[in-house]
Amino acid sequence: DIQMTQSPSSLSVSVGDRVTITCRTSQTISSHLNWYRQKPGKAPQLLVYSASILQSGVPSRFSGSKSGTDFTLTISSVQPEDFATYYCQQSYSIPWTFGQGTKVE
């Protein structure tokens, strides 16, 4: 299985802060990396797919990037609704796997 190392596991921020979350994969996965936001008690919501493409309807403060096997999700200015847990997911090989999550509080 492809291992996903997501960091940090949590971070404390204030509204308006810039946030960066990183996901490192154990092998090359092309750009098959997706990012989700999960609010408490809710299903995850797709934010970014193919490493850097914003899902339709997702605010432009979210962006994704790739450098080798390192992938980054950036929130340019955190809003109150962004306090949640974020997950990366590789869809390059079966089984598709998720990172451990990053709680933004």
Partner 1 sequence: QVQLQESGPGLLKPSQTLSLTCTVSGDSITSGNYYWSWIRQPAGKGLECIGRIYPGESPKYNPSLGSRVSISVDTSKNQFFLKLTSVTAADAAVYYCARARGEWERLGAFDVWGQGTTVTVS
What is the DSSP secondary structure assignment for residue 8, as one 8-state letter?
-
Contacts of 96 (CB under 8 A, 6+ apart): 89, 90
Least gap, CB of 14 to partner 1 (angstroms): 25
Contacts of 40 (CB under 8 A, 6+ apart): 84
Least gap, CB of 65 to partner 1 (angstroms): 16
Identify the residue among 32, 61, 63, 66 touching partner 1 (CB under 8 A): 32
Identify the residue among 5, 55, 63, 69 touching partner 1 (CB under 8 A): 55
Question: Can residue 64 be called a binding residue for partner 1 (CB under 8 A)?
Answer: no
What's the CA gap between 31 and 11, in Å, rounded? 26
Tell me which amino acid residue 37 is. R
Least gap, CB of 92 to partner 1 (angstroms): 8
What's the CA gap between 44 and 6, in Å, rounded? 16
Question: Can residue 44 be called a binding residue for partner 1 (CB under 8 A)?
Answer: yes
Contact positions toward partner 1, by CB under 8 A? 1, 32, 34, 36, 42-46, 49-50, 53, 55, 87, 89-92, 94-101
